Amino acid sequence: MVSSWLRELDEVLRGHKADRRLLASGTAHIPIGPLTAMSVLLGVAYGICMGLYALATRTPPCLMQTVAAAIKVPALFFLTLVVTFPSLYVFSALLGVRLTPKDTLRLILVPITVNLGVLASLGTITAFFTVSTTSYPFMTLLNVFFFAISGIIGLRVLLTMLSRLEEAQAPPAVLPPVPSLADGGGNPSQPEPSRPVVPPHVPGRTAARTTFQVWVVIYALVGAQMGWILRPFIGAPNLPFDWFRGRESNIFIAVVRTIGTLLGI
């Protein structure tokens, strides 16, 4: 079972799930179960790497912070999906992308898996800095940077898949007629010229892509704020362990403040 999950993950990372020929017949080639399981495992792996800071900097080490981070990282992505999934389905329906709710779920699981795969690959770097520095602001910004990088890659995968799906479902190309001898056109002494392919004009295609790009921004904003709601992930060394902090400010103000603290401003 695990080997089949790893094989599905490898196909996702190599872009095989975004093949136009496969997308032309829908999204049935994207398995929900294996990708969900792999996404959870990848999120847990990165969460453990984040939580190592509480083991390395606290006396006694705070194991519960590591457990909490391992749970919260995959929860962050799937809770963001729950919040934004209705809007993605409505957007795709309004723009003529023929997807059922199940197809839409399959489609968005691919970039989520890519996102968590990139994060998990960066986990060893997070662990390295965890054992080599005690700076909480630095570790916070490092993790924010890693989440941002992996998020950008995942969202670009989503836009690519939507674009290829749109192209795969577009009407076939139109071949212009070639004048025949009966119509008084053409020259019998010359071979028949090749007919250029005229790409079909799909009204609203540019608008569709622009609208999906706007949705991607919404998804990123929701994901960022969801991370703020689920904090702490690393755990400040001067504060006791807690599953959640009180509601205050937002992620963007917190990042600016953390940068100021790191720079001594």
For residue 179, tell me if it sits in a domain: no
**At residue 147, does pLDDT exceed 60?**
yes
Lowest-confidence range among 89-98, 200-209, 244-253? Answer: 200-209
Q: Flag whether 180 is in a domain.
A: no
Domain containing 242 equals 2-170+202-263
Please measure the distance between the N-terminal and C-terminal CA atoms of the chain and give it in whole angstroms: 52
197: confidence class by pLDDT, cuts 50, 70, 90:
very low
Instruction: Decide if pLDDT at 164 tops 60.
Output: yes
Average pLDDT over residues 3-14: 89
Whether 186 maps to a domain, the answer reads: no
175: in domain: no
High-pLDDT (> 90) share of the chain, %: 34
Question: Of residues 40 and 156, which shows the higher confidence score?
Answer: 40
| Assigned domain for 196 exists | no
pLDDT digits (tens, 9 = 90+) for 27-83: 888 999 999 999 999 999 999 999 999 998 888 889 999 999 999 999 999 999 999
**Residue of 103, 104, 48 lying closest to 74 (CA atoms):** 48
Q: Domain for residue 184, yes or no?
A: no
* Domain-embedded: residue 177: no
pTM: 0.81
Q: Is 129 helix (H, G, I), strand (E, B) or coil?
A: helix
Q: Look at 163 and 61; give whichever has higher pLDDT.
A: 61
Task: State the pLDDT confidence band at 198, using cuts at 50, 70 and 90.
Answer: very low
Number of residues in the chain: 265
Q: What is the mean pLDDT of the chain?
A: 82
The helix or strand, by DSSP H or E, that contains position 82, with its residue range, turns out to be: helix 63-94
Give me the half-sphere count of Cα atoms (radius 13 Å) on the Cβ side of residue 249.
12
**How many folded domains does the chain comprise?**
1
How does DSSP classify residue 173? P
Residue 203 has what pLDDT? 45
Tell me if 62 is assigned to some domain.
Answer: yes
Our measurement of the distance from residue 107's CA atom to the centroid of its chain's CA atoms, rounded to an integer in Å, reads 10
Between the alpha carbon of residue 47 and those of residues 80, 119, 197, the distances in Å are 17, 9, 51
